[in-house]
Amino acid sequence: MPHRADIGRLYDQCGAALYRYALMILADTSAAADAVHDVFVAVLRRRVALDHPEHYLRRAVRNECYSVLRRRKTETPAAVAAPSGTGGPLIEPVGSDDPDLRIAIERALGELPAEQREVVHLKAFEGMTFQEIADATGESINTVASRYRYAMEKMRAQLG
């Protein structure tokens, strides 16, 4: 059973990666922070034994993010269609910054459906293979590959 100190350690271990994952699904900085926060608190409340905390937390964050999106859909259908763009930036430069390109990519990412943005994140930013993404998301490898292809086509069209 994790304790308060364990939660701090667990956060240091995978909090940032979980936040980035949530951010790419939700495209909303404050909602991503809330999702990560809620998952960590739920871990303590449910008193689950964590043999593989990264896998468990990743799945829990994913479930939480899609729950948030489902709730948004039922509460305000218009909010889902429009790119949220709330809070801070979605992406940051790894090396030297090109603000125009960053803003263009951020806008293109914001226009994608959450499922496609998730696959782009796992493939392009986390370097996972389609098989690993399929295992992590519970989708078929064909679905995952299609989502990535559609996302890339849309982004390419947007970026010109």
Indicate the residue among 3 and 74 with the shorter CB distance to another protein: 3
In terms of Cβ atoms closer than 10 Å to its own Cβ (0-12, 13-18, 19+), residue 101 is exposed
For another protein, give the closer residue by CB, 120 or 128. Answer: 120
CB of 8 to another protein, least distance (A): 5
The minimum distance between CB 74 and another protein, in angstroms, equals 26
Phi/psi zone of residue 57: left (φ > 0), alpha (ψ -120 to 50 degrees), beta? alpha
We find the least distance from the C-beta atom of residue 78 to another protein, in angstroms, to be: 25
Instruction: Supply 19's token pair.
Output: 């936040």
* Smallest distance, another protein to C-beta of residue 59, A: 18
In the complex with another protein, which residue's Cβ is closer, 59 or 154? 154
Rg (CA), the chain: 16
∠ CA 145-84-12 to the nearest 5 degrees? 70
CB 32 within 8 A of CB 26: yes
Minimum distance from residue 23 beta carbon to another protein (Å): 5
45 with 85: CB under 8 angstroms? Answer: no
Which residues of the shown chain bind another protein in the complex (CB under 8 A)?
3-4, 7-8, 11-12, 15-16, 19-21, 23-24, 29, 32-33, 36-37, 40-41, 44-45, 47, 88-95, 98, 101-102, 105, 120-121, 124-125, 149, 152, 155-156, 159-160
